[in-house]
Amino acid sequence: MATKEDRPTRVSIDVRDLSKRYGSTVAVEQLTFRVEPGRVTGFLGPNGAGKSTTMRMMIGLDRPTGGEVLIGGRPYSQIREPLREVGALLDPSAVHPGRRARDQLLVLARSNRIPDRRVDVMLDRVGLAGAARRRLGEFSLGMRQRLGLAAALLGEPRVLILDEPLNGLDPEGIQGVRGLLRELAEGGRVVLVSSHLMNEMAVTADHLVVIGRGRLLADVSMTDFGARYGRGRVRLRTTRPERLGRALIAEGLTPAPAKGGAWEVADAQPDRIGVVAARERVPLQELALRSDSLEEAFLRLTAVSTDFTAEFTTDSGRKGAPE
Ligand SMILES: Nc1ncnc2c1ncn2[C@@H]1O[C@H](COP(=O)(O)OP(=O)(O)OP(=O)(O)O)[C@@H](O)[C@H]1O
Ligand SMILES: [Mg+2]
């Protein structure tokens, strides 16, 4: 077993000039980034961007065409007790259908010298204590996700690599996983979580690594992402729209009427509008950055690099976004 002394105190995942080609398909192209401990890093990109491929290469399930990934300074293959160093959730359906949930975890625990009691602690932690003796073939997608998460956390690893862990979870499950990720990050662990949904990451991650077509598009804190790429759209309601409208136009902003008697201001920040409203002594009933402005920023950032280019069409054949 690795002693405390050979474990570097500050572990990170270092992706260096990583590339992967499948025949003529370029899945990952010269990716370089570092995943730091102590925060939740969202690994974001549209379908086919190369997230799963990158994560598979992190834990040696795929061989890079070029470059390397180091975890705590070493390639995954050189980690002696991987389950105790790196927990991964990649494909939750890759389980034996006839095996019972608890047995699945016991096999993992025993082959990695992890005490049996961790199995029950983790089953309870992910809300599967009641299903411990059910066969995996009967598990729903969400239950398989929960079990995969329990498996990843079994050895109390300092590094977590989770591919779309929120997929298939109900709202309670999503909240539970979010709380868990936060707790793990605050405990100084490296937490990398992929998703193709910006809004999901906005409430889950502290830091974002965005890729498109296998290339790095952004490596920024969640806060900076909004400031740098978000053209904020602010929604407001006031009892005196004419007065506030005039003041905002004088500030060079463009307020426009929106649904429900509200107003929207493009390319704006709530702080600035709040200051203008206070100066004009206009009561505000609502003032918020529209939640979809981050989603829009993500779409703009990845627009030129979306691999899955088929656009959705409506019944009448018009192009449109799916509801
Ligand atoms: N085993 C494989 N053989 C051939 N091509 C592959 C293989 N695995 C992935 N690819 C290709 O590599 C690219 C990246 O795929 P990947 O699964 O890494 O994307 P992703 O970002 O995880 O997407 P999603 O959000 O849909 O999960 C895609 O073009 C995909 O078709
Ligand atoms: Mg994927």
- Specify the fold of 233-289: Alpha-Beta Plaits (3.30.70)
pLDDT of residue 81: 83
In the chain, ranges of CATH 3.30.70 domains: 233-289
Q: Which residues line ligand 1 (CB under 6 A)?
A: 22, 25, 27, 45, 47-53, 196, 307
**Cα within 13 Å of Cα(216), Cβ side:** 15
For 140-151, the pLDDT digits (tens) are: 888 999 999 999
Rounded CA separation 174/17 (Å):
33
Q: How would you class 58 by CB atoms within 10 Å of its CB: exposed for 0-12, middle for 13-18, buried for 19 or more? A: buried
Specify the ligand 1 atom closest to the Cα of 211.
21
User: For the residues 194-209, what does the mean pLDDT come to?
Assistant: 92
Count of beta carbons in the 10 Å neighbourhood of residue 251: 13
User: For the residues 281-292, what does the mean pLDDT come to?
Assistant: 87
Q: Residue 307 C-alpha to ligand 2 middle, in angstroms?
A: 13
- Is the pLDDT reported for residue 294 higher than 50? yes
- Is the pLDDT reported for residue 318 higher than 60? no
- CB 69 within 8 Å of CB 16: yes
Specify the ligand 1 atom closest to the Cα of 214.
14
Rounded CA separation 284/204 (Å):
29
Rounded CA separation 119/124 (Å):
9
- CB 301 within 8 Å of CB 218: yes
Residue reference for tokens 């691999």? 307
Over its C-alpha atoms, the chain yields an Rg (Å, rounded) of 23
- Specify the fold of 10-222: Rossmann fold (3.40.50)
pLDDT of residue 309: 47
Among 46-55, 135-144, 145-154, 289-298, name the one with the lowest average pLDDT: 289-298
In the chain, ranges of CATH 3.40.50.300 domains: 10-222
- Is the pLDDT reported for residue 311 higher than 90? no
pLDDT of residue 314: 52
Q: Which of 234, 222, 226, 241 is nearest to 284 (CA)?
A: 241
Q: Residue 198 C-alpha to ligand 2 middle, in angstroms?
A: 15
Residue of 19, 29, 44, 52 to mutate, ligand 1, most atoms within 8 A of C-beta: 52
